[in-house]
Amino acid sequence: MKSDVKLLGAWPSPYVLRVRIALNMKSVDYEFHEERFPDKSPLLLKSNPIHKKIPVLIHKDKPLSESLIIVQYVDDVWSSASPILPSDPYDRAMARFWADYIDQTLYPTMKSIRGAADQEGKNRLIEEVREGLALLEDVFKSSSKGKGFYGGDQIGLLDIALGCFLGWLRVVETVNGVKLLNQTNTPELLKWADRFCAHAAVKDVMPETGRLVEFSKTLPK
Amino acid sequence: MMEDVKVFGLWASPFTQRVVWALKLKGVNYEYIGEDLFNKSNLLLQYNPVYKKVPVLVHDGKPIAESMVILQYIDETWPQTPLLPQDAYQRANVLFWSKFIDEKTVDMMKFFRYDGEEQEKAMKENWESLRVMEKESGLSEKKFIGGNRIGLADLALGWVAHTLEAMGDVIGVKFITPDAFPHLHSWMGNFLEIPAIKNNLPPHEHAVEYFTEKRKMFLAMNYHHHHH
């Protein structure tokens, strides 16, 4: 079935997951093209010549890249259903700030745990991730305003920006024998994580932790 | 109701200048508080506990950090002189270039911090980044990045039109020449002609004086780094 929405991606990628969740929230029909790494398809190279990275959304033959930019685009175009960005400009700024923090600081730190030189290095990085999650626990309390998600009643930008990393976060927990989300330090995020993963827009596309653990073993350090 | 807008910044920083230009373009009144990065005010640390950096915008007591987040906030709060296109796809395109440019900014200033081989490498990377912008950002078709009016991506890049020039003067290199980068060179001219920009630039001599001192400091740091 030909659709005018195509998504170039790969099942383990949290950035691709962001776009899938956004499209699901808007009930958009799309074709998913799984990239077979390390080879990059000609379509990917043509559609994202500058970064040559996934995700790439192709809407009516026009390509878009950068996951959060694509999510905002999806929110703009399919604007009648399930808003993703908050409506208040200050809330939008806070969501963007924390999404940027996750991309600039939290996830890079998490990713570097695997390649750390020694256990001491690993422990330091794990501690940094814990500190970041503690910040995001506080943000959850103010952003959710007593509801289930950062976006309130419904999943919003920051839920998607953080939630996409839950699979990989669980890989870090499994491989290192630690609990990054736990009842003591992050009680709200612990509950939020289950809610997020059970959400209709997320549950069929969130990769299974066991599968990600196996996949991570194939990655170079 | 009086709107209370404050900007905590550093006059020489590209990141602060973007915010000032956006407010000036939209005719928004604000109070500017200059920060000494070696002696940061308690207010700054309170308003930006995560990064402890400038710029920070405070609107009616509510703080926002990260220059590109601030710019989008300004654009959404004061819609006059819009900095993003109406069309969703064109908007995504301008946001793409804004991100690309913003992410290159710190790297593009590295040549000024280093000397020797590291400086050569940093300068090569600058030329490569500029080549991508020259070729791909649409400046061959449009006056500004993504449109015929100044926008978010232009504000992100604006520092090259004067700060990079001043840094280049101190080192003795000129990056954006009409031969090497004709579109970027035209763009620079167009950018600098806009009154809100032209009237809110530090004088060139002032910038050169500032960066001459900075260069001395970096060279001293490099010396100690290589000779301890």
Amino acid B222: pLDDT? 87
Rounded Cα–Cα distance for residues B65 and B14 (Å): 14
Q: Is A11 exposed, middle or buried (0-12, 13-18, 19+ CB in 10 A)?
A: middle
Can you tell me whether residue B6 is helix, strand or coil?
Answer: strand
Rounded Cα–Cα distance for residues A168 and A154 (Å): 23
Report yes or no: B108 and B162 within 8 Å, Cβ to Cβ: no
Q: What values do phi and psi take at A2, rounded to 5?
A: -85, 130
Tell me the whole-structure pTM to 2 decimals: 0.96
CA atoms within 13 A on the CB side of A118: 1
A200-214 tens-digit pLDDT = 999 999 999 999 999
The answer to whether residue B227 scores a pLDDT higher than 80 is no
Residue B213's pLDDT band (boundaries 50, 70, 90)?
very high
Mean pLDDT of the B65-69 span: 98
Amino acid A2: pLDDT? 58
Mean pLDDT of the B166-175 span: 96
The answer to whether residue B1 scores a pLDDT higher than 50 is no
Amino acid B200: pLDDT? 94
Amino acid A205: pLDDT? 97
Determine the distance in angstroms separating the CA of A196 from the nearest CA of chain B, rounded to an integer. 25
Name the CATH architecture for the domain at B5-77: 3-Layer(aba) Sandwich (3.40)
The answer to whether residue B54 scores a pLDDT higher than 50 is yes
Residue B223's pLDDT band (boundaries 50, 70, 90)?
confident
Does B100 touch chain A if contact means CB atoms closer than 8 Å?
Answer: yes
Among partner residues A49, A59, A100, which is closest to B66 by beta-carbon distance?
A100
Domains of chain A and CATH, by start: 5-77 (3.40.30.10), 89-216 (1.20.1050.10)
Amino acid A1: pLDDT? 47
Amino acid A3: pLDDT? 79
Interface confidence, given as ipTM, is 0.95
Chain A CB contacts of B88 under 8 Å are: 73, 76-77
Amino acid B228: pLDDT? 58
Domain B88-205, classified CATH 3.40.1000.10, yes or no: no
CA dihedral for B10, B12, B16, B19, sign (positive or negative)? positive
Q: Test B88 with A76 for CB contact under 8 angstroms.
A: yes
The counts of H helices and E strands in chain A are 10, 4
For chain B, percent of residues with pLDDT exceeding 70: 99
Does B50 touch chain A if contact means CB atoms closer than 8 Å?
Answer: yes
Does B106 touch chain A if contact means CB atoms closer than 8 Å?
Answer: no
Report chain B's mean pLDDT, rounded to a whole number. 95
Query: Domain limits of chain B?
Result: 5-77, 88-205
Q: How far is CA B206 from CA B111, B163, B213, B219, in A?
A: 20, 11, 11, 20
Can you tell me whether residue A31 is helix, strand or coil?
Answer: strand
Rounded Cα–Cα distance for residues A150 and A143 (Å): 5
Does A90 touch chain B if contact means CB atoms closer than 8 Å?
Answer: yes
Mean pLDDT of the A170-188 span: 96
Among partner residues A49, A62, A93, which is closest to B69 by beta-carbon distance?
A93
Residue A37's pLDDT band (boundaries 50, 70, 90)?
confident
Rounded Cα–Cα distance for residues B114 and B223 (Å): 10
A72-130 tens-digit pLDDT = 999 999 999 899 999 999 999 999 999 999 999 999 999 999 999 999 999 999 999 99
A118-143 tens-digit pLDDT = 999 999 999 999 999 999 999 999 99
Amino acid A38: pLDDT? 83
